[in-house]
Structure 1
Amino acid sequence: MDDAQVKRILENPKFQEMVKKQGKLSWTLTIIMLVIYVGFMLLVGYNKEFLMSSFNGGVTTWGIPLGLGIIVLSFVLCAVYSYIANNTFDQLSKEALKEVEAITHEKGTH
């Protein structure tokens, strides 16, 4: 593949749309996870009493379900990304790939 073909692929509207949507989703989910995780770390640092308090009058403290919730949330966000990627990005990827193949088979025309 020569530089002209690479340039045409990078300028392809389908390819650009796919990259833009993937980037937006990835950054959105990353920010959600970082906010939750940093929030939990700030809670650990500045409000230990709350995390050590019992939420049902027993021995289980707030820290345990919140910590487990963060772990579960990471799996949920991965599932959300996978679902969206499999249902949206795969179609965009197929369309972009068809156009990329057409560009790579046009050797010498541009």
Structure 2
Amino acid sequence: MAEDIIGRLDASPHYHSLVRRRSRLGWLLAAIMLGAFTVFTLLMAFEKQWMASPIGTGVTSIGVPIGMGLILFAIALTGLYVWRCNTVYDRELALIVAEVSA
């Protein structure tokens, strides 16, 4: 029974469309995160003085809030992916499974 449903699911063009869109979103977000980390690394490598310069008269440098922002950006992208999966992709997958189960 399960193999039959899996076979029909694998033959469904709606399922393949969903997988393609979900994969595209994952790769897009991964590329954005890779770009952000690359920019941060390049700043640390080639703009050391600027990244190490203190903020105002404080004890922290400019690089610290940029690094914290990078971490928060990664969390936000993860949240975006989870939100998209929970609101769109899971609903579509449930419809596709119901379609091939009938």
Larger Rg: 1
1:48 offset after TM fit, Å?
Answer: 0.7
Q: In structure 2, what is the Cα distance between the partners aligned to 1:13 and 1:87?
A: 21
Counterpart in the other structure of 1:82: 82
The question of 1:22 aligning with 2:22 is answered yes
Q: Which amino acid is the alignment partner of residue 29 of structure 2?
A: L
Give the partner amino acid of 1:46: F
The amino acid of 1:15's aligned partner reads Y
1:33: which partner in 2? 33
Q: How many residues align?
A: 99
Counterpart for residue 47 of structure 1: 47
TM-score where L is the length of structure 1: 0.80
> Any unmatched runs of 5+ in structure 1?
103-110
Percent identity between the aligned chains?
30
Structure 2 Cα separation of the partners of residues 13 and 86 of structure 1: 21
Query: TM-score if structure 2 supplies the norm length?
Result: 0.86
Q: CA RMSD in A?
A: 1.6
Q: Which runs of 5+ in 2 are unaligned?
A: none
Q: Which has the higher helix share?
A: 2
